[in-house]
Structure 1
């Protein structure tokens, strides 16, 4: 679970007037409402809450759902898997009983889940929630899931059964022999040079690329991506009039979207975020039945690290690799090996958060909110944004979160950053885990 302490529960009354004027200079802060719609077009509202790993978005979404009579749709590529609870910071059973959650525990870890499947499932859940008179609240940090969910999915042809079978046959020997590079070269030669940029051993996406080529004669990049069209049509002009109204700027952006999306990105200062992430990694290891137990279960089902979507997930991949190393050592682990594993787990998690920040920095539809501010303040703002009828919303200065680092000092501190553990500090602090590893191997 996400560590507490990200939000202070003190309640402070929000300002009633905008704090700052609208700005059009791309170097300054442009904050306008994605909820602005034309007077004669009424769209149903959907709230989207994203943020880097460890920022506290799940808790915020839960509390907001209670206030708005909402239901939560998970946009997390790991929470879809049964049994992967700790490493994905999955909502607790009591939270899920209190507020309905969708797209959690819908697959076995051996199955792959694509962004296209997420689009279909999440949009269906949205329709069901709206039909029941409740508010859809989509939350998660998987950027591509959210991009397709908001803007739509590419009109890529669906492969026939015959094509799917042929593609599986073409790649089967490569996958069995673990010859990833040769498989990629086959797809490149077939017509998709971008296959070289796929993550290693991402066989699902490699097969999908070849399916598209065999079905249409063209690579996936040949098909129009709705987000790209949206971004191209709505890039700000260098001659933007700073006196233009927010509604004028935003109307062009939302007119072609299916819903009135009100989107928020929750984050903290990078240093604070990194400390929270490091602590969360420790928490995932500090209790029996933690992420190591889940990783062991994955190995016992016959899966290997980095072999499919579930086993590529940050935390699980590192934990599975560590346990395999322990098995090679006869079920033993040195203190040094454990601390190396923990360091790699923390570093991978921080790097993932950094990639999330980079991704969402280019997603103009999101309000950036400061996760270190009191929870009630953030909730009140989003609640008011949902109920706003003016078409123009402003983030109070007290809640603003800058997209970029604010100073050279912060950049220097980040460069020199090193994890400072709280639970695992001394050699003896990991003795229980090392004992657990030995015990589990004896049982095996």
Structure 2
């Protein structure tokens, strides 16, 4: 892959109301009213890290990670963290700032990311937020919802209230508890999203009202513009001049990339498996907190626990079952990302299968020249394209390239025997 899908009418309307006057468009970014910030997102495996690095090099930029796992020390391979050389070439923020036993939230990210953005701008550099955590980026762009903070006593009490349900895997019962407490929308949460469920109960215990009772700094149905009574489009006032891009590519192509990436994370036993083993060794369990809920880490921890219960042994069949589950969960996550960002109107969708150089140059030109912000047809991916791939996806079958047969996983099973027989 060299490297997704706006409705043209929507984007023409958006830029008509957001672009500065012709005189202001000719001025450098520093002369406009607001500071410009670039946001690059996309599904897992689309190539957003590589693109953000290249754009940062060309624009004297610094990267603000919008990845909910890269914040953790020691979780490098499973989070596809930028390498040491990449981080040496371009300054990065919000990477390796927490121990894996700690939790991280969208609210804390908002505070940290906005602070990092202001520091980057103070050095006259270009902030480039890059990552695929949709809620983090939504709050980063539009602001943090006006939801009350919980006291330490309430946070501790809620944690204890839900701990038994979590430890015994009783998700539905925990949802019933929160729904009965005052938030029926808890039933709409994705299964085992314990952090969101816990936060909902904290808000109820703190205020007596569910999260939906508090105002949001954006309209969840249409984040960029609102229609007023006279039919004119009213611009949502944002703190920065955001240029937002979403990398997408044909889903089958993306899925094959994800499948290979999962294999590569497991091929080196010093990678994801080693990191998951470390999480278990420090006393964490799958799904216990943000780090152990992360895709890849949760599945690897569950697999290694099974190996430990078997005295440090695993059959090839068990390994391949784990690999298949890891790949399936990763592909499903990318699908959810595409669905989330399809509804985020501020993003232009760029076809990640187009030449890398053309994409990087377009973003740099868009930063320097407001009149050049509309993605050209040659680079655009229509959002509708991703909805019309169901026929190909129904027949999709994962084809491993590194782990084709039992012999290919022997080194992994040997490593498990040596390290997991505890």
TM-score by length of 2: 0.89
Q: Is the 8 A contact 1:71 1:137 kept in 2?
A: yes
**Hey, what does 1:119 align to over in structure 2?**
110
CA drift at 1:170:
4.4
**Hey, what does 2:351 align to over in structure 1?**
370
CA drift at 1:203:
4.3
Structure 1 alignment gaps of length 5 or more: 8-21, 241-247
1:350-406 superposed Cα distances (whole Å, 9 cap, x missing partner): 11111111111111111111111221111110001001143x632222111121337
Q: Is the 8 A contact 2:110 2:136 kept in 1?
A: yes
Among candidates 386, 401, 405, match of residue 381 of structure 2: 401
**Hey, what does 1:439 align to over in structure 2?**
418
| Distance in 2, Cα, partners of 1:406 & 1:102 | 32
| Distance in 2, Cα, partners of 1:137 & 1:182 | 42
**Hey, what does 2:49 align to over in structure 1?**
58
**Hey, what does 1:429 align to over in structure 2?**
408
SS at match of 2:383: coil
Note if 1:103 corresponds to 2:94: yes
Q: Assess, with a 3 A threshold, how the Cα gap between structure 1 residues 167 and 387 changes in structure 2: closer, same or farther.
A: same
Q: Is the 8 A contact 2:223 2:345 kept in 1?
A: no
**Residue correspondences, number:** 411
Among candidates 356, 368, 382, match of residue 363 of structure 2: 382
Note if 1:340 corresponds to 2:321: yes
SS at match of 1:221: helix
CA drift at 1:178:
5.8
1:72-125 superposed Cα distances (whole Å, 9 cap, x missing partner): 000001111111110110000111111111111111111111111111110110
Q: Assess, with a 3 A threshold, how the Cα gap between structure 1 residues 176 and 375 changes in structure 2: closer, same or farther.
A: closer
CA drift at 1:271:
1.0
Q: Is the 8 A contact 1:31 1:395 kept in 2?
A: no
1:122-137 to 2 correspondence within 5 Å?
122-137=113-128
**Hey, what does 2:244 align to over in structure 1?**
263
CA drift at 1:71:
0.4
1:29-428 to 2 correspondence within 5 Å?
32=15, 36-37=19-20, 42-168=33-159, 170-171=161-162, 180-228=171-219, 231=222, 234-235=225-226, 252-254=234-236, 256-390=237-371, 393-405=373-385, 410-428=389-407
Q: Is the 8 A contact 1:318 1:344 kept in 2?
A: yes
CA drift at 1:186:
3.1
Q: Assess, with a 3 A threshold, how the Cα gap between structure 1 residues 30 and 375 changes in structure 2: closer, same or farther.
A: farther
Greater CA drift, 156-165 or 125-134: 156-165
| Distance in 1, Cα, partners of 2:175 & 2:183 | 9
| Distance in 2, Cα, partners of 1:115 & 1:278 | 28
Structure 2 alignment gaps of length 5 or more: 25-30
1:293-338 superposed Cα distances (whole Å, 9 cap, x missing partner): 1111111111111221111111111111111111222211111111
SS at match of 2:34: coil
**Hey, what does 2:28 align to over in structure 1?**
none
SS at match of 1:437: helix
| Distance in 2, Cα, partners of 1:141 & 1:221 | 24
| Distance in 2, Cα, partners of 1:347 & 1:174 | 26
| Distance in 2, Cα, partners of 1:33 & 1:80 | 37
Q: Is the 8 A contact 1:75 1:145 kept in 2?
A: yes
Q: Is the 8 A contact 2:223 2:344 kept in 1?
A: no
SS at match of 1:226: coil
CA drift at 1:441:
2.4
